Amino acid sequence: MDLDLTCVASYLVLLDERHYGHAADRLNLTASALTKRIQRLERQVGAKLVQRDDMGGLVVTDAGRRFAVHAEPLLTHAEQARRAARAELERPQHRIVIGFPAGPHQYLKDMNLPAIGSAVCREYSETRLAYRQVRFSEITSCLVDQEVDMLLTTAAVRHPAVLSMPLAITARRVGLVGRRHKLADAGVLGLDEFVDLPLLYNSAVPEEWMSMFYLGDVRPRREARLVDIGADDLASVVRYSARGLSVSVGPEFYAHLAPPNVRPVALAGAPALVLHVACRRSERRGAVKAFVAALQRAPRQRLTAPPI
């Protein structure tokens, strides 16, 4: 079935305005031209989507309502595909952007990333490296949308266009609690006690990554007391934790960076986080492949907080 996305977009504007004349003005069309677009869309779909009422407004049919539910994500996916194609054309072939979750990045040095990058650049002399903090909600889309070329993260990226490889680099998890929280001075907590606390999470973040930080790997999500927040970086998570009503989980190598109003507590028995490197399955550049291979060869290591 051929579907004209311009007609689809016009249909959504018509539903938003609920009036042919108003929608036509917004689209810089005549009402007659908009009517023809909608009629063309109805022929393409094979169903009547709207009907006019006596006042020039419209009545949306059952088919029209069902179509609208799927039309908006259809346009979103089409725009993402367009941006990805343009980004591929505009992306400098010798520039490699390495992404990591938004927050402090001392651990990149601890895992010898600068030295690995220098070695790759010596082998591929035209290669230039850049680093970019990735908002938590973009952990998956940053690769798909060509915003970064490689991603370092604490969970595999689940997307058919992305290839994720586990590394021999791990990190423990710690709890982050407000200074006035009853457990602020606990030092060490058992998982059975910590998992029952209200835990901060962001529902907009990919589940495979977010679950590591509400301990979804040690008990079912349905048993978790989740508090949905819009935090898209570590600093925001810490601010919410400082309020003392809910707690959060983070990698141990961030613990020493907690401000005075937040206390890290060790989580006894929590499985370690395993760092992953991810790239697009379609990646063909030798420098990216060499960088990934070097990370996979890196010796076993546990990232910890540096001594104070």
pLDDT at 23 over 70: yes
Nearest C-alpha neighbor of 285 from the set 168, 155, 194, 150: 150
Does residue 123 share a domain with residue 99? yes
Burial category of 55 from C-beta neighbours within 10 Å (exposed 0-12, middle 13-18, buried 19 and up): exposed
Q: Are 127 and 120 in contact (CB under 8 A)?
A: yes
Range of the domain at 217: 173-271
pLDDT at residue number 307: 47
Does residue 190 share a domain with residue 73? no
- Tell me, yes or no, whether 113 lies in a domain: yes
Does residue 196 share a domain with residue 141? no
Angle between helices 31-45 and 5-17 (to 10 degrees): 120
Average pLDDT over residues 60-88: 83
pLDDT at residue number 53: 72
- Tell me, yes or no, whether 307 lies in a domain: no
Q: Are 117 and 291 in contact (CB under 8 A)?
A: yes
pTM given for the model? 0.69
pLDDT at 55 over 80: no
Does residue 76 share a domain with residue 9? yes
Does residue 208 share a domain with residue 69? no
Identify the CATH number of the domain in which residue 204 sits: 3.40.190.10
Q: Quick: pLDDT tens for 99-117.
A: 999 888 888 888 889 999 9
For residue 239, what pLDDT band results from cuts at 50, 70 and 90?
confident
Rounded to the nearest integer, the mean pLDDT of the chain is: 88
